[in-house]
């Protein structure tokens, strides 16, 4: 919990690796996943680093594995086997064996694929030729009938029969969808001098390039002359039609068909053997591809990390710098010792802590529950180092503020059940819809949705709102009291007397018991015509009280930050003025709300005397009060004087915060500067003493020690990073002061969105009930069931689509804004950077899901 509250205590470490043991030690640190290495070669090009060749070899192995994986995926009958539960990084010596094995496997598979493609291409050509020979018989029979005189021919005056024309022909196969355009192009180019006959191939043929089934058509073109033949061939090439040789005589076609059938049978046998060989290669590879991916990616990550190290002068060891949690240094040392032992080296790696003024990274230990809430905070900004993390408080405040705006127990129940389903089926659903981005968003925030639903049920019970209807669980505190002869038909509106103390002499009837409804809003308000006026007043005041409580809590957290970092000037000249201003104006407003609730009841006198708190707050700034004009409107005695004192003290906080801290910082800097001058003079004096001839060794050693200690103190004081700029500090403090005091007013008004969205959600829910579901409920028994069944579907669709999704998203965004701006601005800077450890687990997860980076 302490890690989540402030983040881990981090330290900068320097590690000396023996060259032979560096690979094994880095592998062990990668398995541990608690070290973030720094790049010690930022100016060196990536292609000029020491282990760039090893990284390239790993990338080449990755390419081969991706090729194998893609080939396995094409075979739907073969399933990839998951990687081993613990896949350790291979030793550096094993790289050559892995390269050889993958290269041989890739070569065998490529050779099998090329043979398969060639065989499939030949098989397709033989199939097309077989269909051409089969379909061509019909075409040539028709041509023979034309040439033998079945059609009338022209005769000359000599009564001699004209010799029939000798036609040339081309036979081929074309895709079926291209036939109409192919026929049209032939007609236009050849001017109708070509005779085209087509016949569809009944069975679909497999295309060897795409491995898809395609429908094709056999065609034969009859033409006369070489010029038409050239044109027809070019058109066939343009439409990607395949032309095959076809004999003219039936006997030759029959003989060729027998040869084609024989070759098809032989080719089918060879093709099946080739496919079986390919399948066996892929089946064996599928057992190890995931494991090989894991090993190669770990190896690549190790060499990529080692490229960030520095070489020692003698090139016998590597020097690395890393950030690590302080409480994990023991585990890191054990991992280094284990890596050294596995490498066979006798020289242990050396781990040293380094002193630095650089800001360390921020590291929070998270689990599946807290990760979603931490992401909400990190979207605003990463916590500064050791700054209070808002995530633990967001776990409660975020779903609560959402529920205040989404207060409906029925809608909260649906949301809770959906989130509970995702939580209980977490393992099965985790990797089920990886490509669905919307689902991944919902699944990642399943615990947030669960808490939002549960809190919505709670606030819905307080509002007494379940699908826009109220529940009378404890019995209403109101009753309709009338005389026996009262005629209800003559009235449309009946006023209930809210005064629990009635005057019996005036024949007043007690309608309010004087005891509030035990929990939440009394169900009688659902029937009243002034329901909106009542709920508006109640929710508006609740919104202001909740907002001021959260802002005050943010100021308390800022105090903890100031004390932790030792910023006492910020405590006295920021925190105290801020608390006084917020307390004397806005906390006082909350007190007036509670006093008004307690003091004024439902009697007519109290109703007339109850002051308007918004007008009262405005009058405070003008040193006026409603009690000055009418004493019955006073909340307490001496109210006017107290309010004037509060306003004066609150206004005095503005110059205190504006000028106090810059003046204190200037005086502190001036005092340090004067002490620095004195230190420099003392150092110069001690240097002169040390240069004198001293016979005593003890005196000489003492003078040397004093000189060195004074020099170190002066160097610490004259740190070039600590530069004081009074103008910059004054401008920054001025901006901070204006932002806070104006923000107190705007942020308080901003919390009224809790009331506004709650009202909108309740009214929209009531509209859906009244205009849709109520139609079925008001119908008769027989047709009412059918009508209810028909109207329930649109009511449920609108409830889920509009109220749960759209209204839920709106409430989520408004709750997000209240946390980022109104709450976190009081104490949270968010100027840090994330701790990104060298972890094999994270590297493998990112490689498996590259779209989620």
Render pLDDT for 793-843 as a digit per residue (tens, 0 to 9).
889 999 999 999 999 999 999 999 999 999 999 999 999 999 999 999 999
Q: What is the CA radius of gyration of the chain?
A: 44
Residue 851 has pLDDT above 80, yes or no: no
The band of 201, judged by pLDDT with boundaries at 50, 70 and 90, is confident
Instruction: Measure CA of the first residue to CA of the last residue in the chain; give whole Å.
Output: 27
The band of 697, judged by pLDDT with boundaries at 50, 70 and 90, is very low
* Averaged pLDDT for residues 613-627: 86
Residue 529 has pLDDT above 90, yes or no: no
Closest by CA position to 452, among listed 488, 489, 421, 414: 414
Higher pLDDT, 135 or 388: 388
Angle at 516 between CA 511 and CA 520, to 5 degrees: 125
CA 729 from centroid of its chain's CA atoms: 37
Residue 641 has pLDDT above 80, yes or no: yes
Residue 677 has pLDDT above 60, yes or no: no
Residue 574 has pLDDT above 90, yes or no: yes
The pLDDT score that the predictor gives to residue 853 is 47
Q: What percent of the chain has pLDDT over 90?
A: 44
Higher pLDDT, 550 or 699: 550
The pLDDT score that the predictor gives to residue 135 is 81
The band of 503, judged by pLDDT with boundaries at 50, 70 and 90, is low
The pLDDT score that the predictor gives to residue 64 is 94
pLDDT in tens, 63-100: 999 999 999 988 888 888 888 778 888 888 889 999 99
What is the Cα–Cα distance from 585 to 589, expressed in whole angstroms? 6
| 469 phi, psi to nearest 5 deg | -115, 150
pLDDT in tens, 291-313: 999 999 999 999 999 999 998 87
The dihedral formed by the CA atoms of 684, 689, 691 and 695, expressed in degrees to the nearest 10: -160
Choose the weakest-confidence range: 193-207, 596-610, 705-719: 705-719
The pLDDT score that the predictor gives to residue 412 is 95
The pLDDT score that the predictor gives to residue 295 is 93
Choose the weakest-confidence range: 159-168, 663-672, 828-837: 159-168
- The answer to whether residues 267 and 119 touch, using CB atoms and an 8 Å cutoff, is yes
The pLDDT score that the predictor gives to residue 848 is 80
Q: What is the DSSP string of 454-522?
A: HHHHHHHHHHT-BTTB---SS--SB-----TT--GGG-S-------SS--GGGT----B-SS--SSSS-
- The answer to whether residues 263 and 124 touch, using CB atoms and an 8 Å cutoff, is no
- The answer to whether residues 99 and 53 touch, using CB atoms and an 8 Å cutoff, is no
* Averaged pLDDT for residues 466-486: 81
* Averaged pLDDT for residues 133-137: 80
Higher pLDDT, 510 or 30: 30
H or E element at residue 311:
strand 310-311
Q: What SS3 class is residue 718?
A: coil
The band of 717, judged by pLDDT with boundaries at 50, 70 and 90, is very low
The dihedral formed by the CA atoms of 279, 285, 287 and 292, expressed in degrees to the nearest 10: -160
CA atoms within 13 A on the CB side of 388: 23
The pLDDT score that the predictor gives to residue 545 is 95
The pLDDT score that the predictor gives to residue 783 is 72
The pLDDT score that the predictor gives to residue 686 is 58
The sign one gets for the Cα dihedral 101, 102, 106, 112 is: positive
The model's pTM: 0.80
- The answer to whether residues 741 and 541 touch, using CB atoms and an 8 Å cutoff, is no
pLDDT in tens, 583-603: 999 999 999 999 988 888 766
Residue 424 has pLDDT above 80, yes or no: yes
User: How do beta strands 317-325 and 36-37 pair?
Assistant: antiparallel
The pLDDT score that the predictor gives to residue 395 is 95
Best-predicted range by mean pLDDT (310-314, 556-560, 628-632, 698-702):
556-560
- Secondary-structure percent of the chain, ordered helix, strand, coil, rounded to 5: 65, 10, 30
H or E element at residue 338:
helix 329-343
Buried b (16+ CB within 10 A) or exposed e, 665-683: beeebeeeeeeeeebeeeb
Mean pLDDT, rounded, of the chain: 85
The pLDDT score that the predictor gives to residue 369 is 92
Q: What percent of the chain has pLDDT over 70?
A: 87
Angle between helices 726-750 and 531-564 (to 10 degrees): 150
């Amino acid at each position: 919990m302490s890690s989540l509250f402030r983040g881990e205590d981090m330290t900068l470490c320097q590690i000396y690796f023996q060259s032979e043991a560096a690979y094994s030690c880095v592998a062990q640190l990668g398995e541990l996943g608690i070290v973030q290495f720094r790049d010690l070669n930022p100016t060196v090009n990536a292609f000029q680093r020491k282990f760039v060749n090893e990284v390239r070899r790993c990338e080449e192995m990755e390419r081969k594995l991706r090729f194998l994986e893609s080939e396995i995926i094409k075979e739907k009958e073969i399933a990839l086997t998951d990687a081993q539960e613990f896949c350790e990084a291979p030793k550096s010596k094993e790289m050559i064996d892995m390269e050889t094995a993958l290269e041989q496997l890739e070569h065998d598979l490529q050779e099998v694929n090329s043979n398969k493609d060639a065989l499939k291409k030949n098989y397709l050509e033989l199939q097309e030729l077989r269909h051409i020979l089969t379909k061509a018989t019909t075409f040539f029979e028709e041509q023979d009938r034309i040439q033998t005189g079945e059609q009338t021919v022209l005769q000359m005056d000599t009564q001699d029969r004209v010799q029939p024309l000798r036609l040339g022909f081309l036979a081929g196969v074309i895709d079926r969808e291209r036939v109409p355009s192919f026929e049209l192009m032939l007609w236009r180019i050849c001017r109708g001098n070509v005779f085209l006959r087509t016949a569809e191939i009944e069975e679909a043929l497999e295309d060897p390039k795409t491995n898809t089934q395609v429908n094709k058509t056999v065609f034969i073109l009859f033409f006369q002359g070489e010029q038409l033949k050239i044109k027809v061939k070019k058109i066939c090439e343009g439409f990607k039609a395949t032309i095959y040789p076809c004999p003219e005589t039936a006997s030759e076609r029959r003989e060729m068909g027998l040869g084609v059938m024989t070759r098809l049978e032989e080719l089918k046998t060879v093709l099946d053997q080739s496919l079986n060989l390919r399948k066996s290669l892929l089946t064996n590879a599928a057992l190890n591809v995931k494991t090989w991916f894991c090993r190669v990616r770990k190896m690549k990550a190790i060499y990529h990390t080692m490229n960030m190290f520095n070489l020692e002068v003698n090139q016998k060891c590597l020097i690395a710098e890393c950030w690590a949690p302080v409480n994990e240094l023991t585990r890191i040392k054990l991992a280094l010792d284990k890596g050294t032992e596995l490498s066979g080296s006798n020289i242990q790696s050396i781990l040293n802590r380094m002193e630095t003024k650089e800001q360390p990274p921020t590291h929070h230990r998270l689990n599946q529950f807290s990760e979603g809430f931490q992401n909400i905070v990190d979207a605003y900004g990463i916590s500064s180092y050791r700054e209070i993390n808002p995530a633990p408080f967001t776990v409660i405040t975020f779903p609560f503020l959402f529920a205040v705006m989404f207060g409906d127990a029925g809608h909260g129940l649906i949301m809770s059940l959906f989130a509970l389903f995702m939580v209980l089926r977490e393992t099965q659903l985790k990797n089920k819809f990886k490509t669905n981005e919307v689902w991944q968003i919902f699944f990642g925030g399943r615990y947030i949705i669960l808490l939002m639903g549960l809190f919505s049920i709670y606030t819905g019970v307080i509002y007494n709102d379940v699908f826009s209807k109220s529940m009378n669980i404890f019995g209403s505190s109101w009753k309709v009291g009338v005389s026996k002869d009262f005629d209800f038909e003559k009235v449309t509106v009946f006023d209930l007397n809210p005064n629990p103390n009635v005057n019996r002499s005036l024949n007043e009837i007690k309608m309010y018991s004087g005891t509030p409804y035990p929990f939440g809003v009394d169900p009688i308000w659902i029937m009243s015509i002034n329901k909106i006026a009542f709920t508006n007043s109640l929710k508006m005041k609740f919104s202001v009280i909740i907002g001021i409580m959260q802002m005050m809590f943010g100021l308390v957290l800022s105090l903890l930050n100031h004390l932790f970092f030792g910023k006492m000037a910020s405590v006295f000249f920021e925190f105290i003025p801020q608390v006084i201003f917020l307390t004397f104006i806005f906390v006082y407003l909350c007190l007036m709300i509670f006093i008004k609730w307690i003091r004024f009841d439902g009697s007519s006198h109290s109703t007339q005397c109850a002051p308007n708190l918004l007008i009262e707050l405005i009058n405070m700034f003008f040193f006026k009060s409603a009690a000055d004009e009418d004493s019955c409107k006073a909340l307490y005695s001496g109210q006017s004087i107290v309010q004037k004192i509060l306003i004066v003290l609150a206004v005095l906080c503005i110059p205190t915060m504006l000028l106090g801290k810059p003046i204190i910082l200037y005086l502190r800097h001036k005092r340090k500067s004067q002490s620095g001058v004195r230190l420099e003079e003392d150092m110069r004096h001690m240097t002169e003493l040390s240069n004198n001839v001293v016979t005593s060794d003890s005196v000489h050693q003492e003078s040397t020690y004093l000189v060195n200690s004074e020099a170190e103190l002066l160097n610490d004081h004259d740190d070039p990073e600590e530069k004081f700029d009074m103008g910059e500090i004054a401008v920054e403090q001025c901006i901070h002061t204006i932002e806070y005091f104006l923000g107190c007013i705007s942020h308080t008004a901003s919390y009224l969105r809790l009331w506004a969205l709650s009202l909108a959600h309740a009214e929209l829910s009531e509209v859906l009930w009244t205009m849709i579901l109520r139609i079925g409920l008001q119908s008769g028994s027989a047709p009412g069931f059918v009508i209810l069944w028909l109207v329930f579907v649109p009511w449920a669709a609108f409830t889920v689509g509009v109220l749960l999704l759209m209204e839920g998203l709106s409430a989520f965004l408004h709750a997000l804004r209240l946390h980022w701006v109104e709450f976190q601005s009081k104490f949270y800077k968010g100027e840090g950077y994330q701790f990104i450890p060298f972890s094999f687990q994270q590297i493998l997860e990112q490689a498996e899901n590259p779209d989620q980076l």
